[in-house]
Chains A and B, each alone.
Chain A
């Protein structure tokens, strides 16, 4: 489904990624972990198209997408959320989620200007679908008309997940979905992520610091340290890997 092959990325002299290779298995949850500055977010940016890798390729559904723009990749079915929430703050929850449907809609300029007719039909269909598949699913119907700015952090994270789901993506990249959440919120979010994978069959790739959650929900884990991939395997394999233990706890442990 999604595969990165020997990706290198550097900014000036800093080598953010040095030869990262792995494949996210279709319909499963793959976790990317690593200490701060290991290059996890850079990897996401290379996959979603904000950075072009210096070397190596990104494959999606068998096609090389390394040089496509972010919006082209989104059209192909890659959705993502951001570490520090990138919702449209001036808009309501509903409008944010509707924007997720952008690539699936067909309304062009002329039918938009006249609205009544095909554009209206499409909009109402989008609304129904979002209400049923996203808003209900994420249990955010009580806040659908609220502006983003007044929502608490945990709910904003959930709305951002909703916006990504509205794209009906094939692959979902989640950048620290539970960062800064308390245990209860973390549990909620983990349940939503599992549901996404089970109900919609979406391939999930997630970056996270919360080890318990990663070990619990991921079927495959990739470990990065200083831009290098130091381990890859099932949660059990990875947590027993001496290199990983060293990276996390220091050489003495």
Chain B
């Protein structure tokens, strides 16, 4: 009995060692241009992205490294308006610290065992130019919410990517279930408890990101405040830091924070997202049809308001609206589902990262906080979307006749009969 147990343990330890050894391949701290145990000749792209977009970057990056046409992503999380500035000024990937928050560069290792849910290894970049150009920026809210300097150069394009939702979060032990826009305004708009929006009356237990971060920009506009008008504890440098503050709060009931919903989706066990009732709305709603689902139904049909598209920013081919860098163009086409003949399913990574492709949206808007209007997608993909989210199901009829072919009076799209 004892020897069987020893053998089992030995086996488990051996497996653990193999896993540790595999992970060790992804070494931290090498120069990005000379990675240990990696093929440094694999084509590479340097990206700056909002930290809400990191799950997508890692999932997509892993598939790109396993693709028959390999591409290695080096990326750095950065607030959206800083990304805008960098891309609009042809910035290079050099060392950056925003205030006291270091912004490490990370890379996707070649190992097929790389887990996109785990931290990607870091690498170092030069402290000053010359360095690699940042070929793609992936923001997470309308760039119109940023300061408009520097102006957009004629040779830089900004393209709408998938939709990103945000929300108010609280400690898991809070009894609160929902928040109204008026409560958000009164809680964040006044120092300490001056807005009398109980229970959120302790300023040091209200958390926000920096004023150039998409999370702050979109959430402040949802409650008719400017980012700088939000009275909160000291800005959290990253979403992860904000989550930690909410989780560790000594007073759960008074705790309030803001977060991207795809990050919330990964941390549902640790934090609670509040249903949101916007100005003039009769009820409060979660982003999803229930607080346990992942279908983003209320974002897609207009019942849940804090959302924005993710802007993809890149240099254009002269005189065109085509992204010049072929690797940046490939990534954009993959996440939009428009790329043909690639062995990476980018649209699926979008959905499984908690984002919403435009083809699954039924409403649109012109900017952060703007009113909604109906959106008539020419090639809808709601059935496919609902089927592919976590716990996904659909009542749509499956089809195998190919895209655009007639199907139940509508058209076959991505394997399901859509209305058109």
Question: A and B from one assembly?
Answer: no
Which B residues lie at the A interface, using CB under 8 A? none
